[in-house]
Amino acid sequence: MKRYVIDSERDIRGFFTDLHFRIRNAFLPEDDLATLVDKNGNAVFSKAEVAYFDELILDCFVFCNDYHLDLHEIVESVQQELRFNAPVESIVCDRKFYFGSMHRQAYAGYSMRKCV
């Protein structure tokens, strides 16, 4: 499994680009990776990969919070560059959300994006 270090927006973009190539569909950073299946109904990621990627996604949220970046905008731009359609749920305004994994719920108060 490839190892990632999240120290820049470029690192975030690279990580989500790799995830999109594995998933082959648009998704949101707070989506539960354990529930994603391929066209044959098989899990896209192993339990170990889900745990590792969940930690990295949390690192992405923390980095974006620290540097006043919007992770959803970064992911949406990656999806556009890769020609994936963004899910409808990506248009969310100033609500609190909860992550699929227990260890990520500590950061559940992170506000997504404010409506204009």
* Residue 96 counted as domain residue: no
pLDDT of 18 reads: 95
Whether 51 is in a domain gets the answer yes
Burial of 1 (0-12, 13-18, 19+ CB in 10 A): exposed
Determine, yes or no, domain membership for 67: yes
- Residue 99 CB contacts under 8 Å (≥ 6 apart), including other chains: 30, 32, 54, 58, 105, 107, 108
| The predicted structure's pLDDT at residue 30 | 93
Angle between helices 71-81 and 9-23 (to 10 degrees): 50
Looking at the structure of the chain, the number of domains it has is 1
Domain-located, residue 116? no
pLDDT digits (tens, 9 = 90+) for 75-113: 999 999 998 764 544 433 333 333 333 333 333 444 433
Tokens in use for 54? Answer: 């969940």
Question: Whole domain around residue 42: which residue ranges?
Answer: 9-90
- For the stretch 42-77, pLDDT in tens is 999 999 999 999 999 999 999 999 999 999 999 999
Task: Judge whether 48 lies within some domain.
Answer: yes
**Mean per-residue pLDDT, 31-37:** 93
pTM for this one?
A: 0.72
Two structure tokens written together for 39: 């066209």
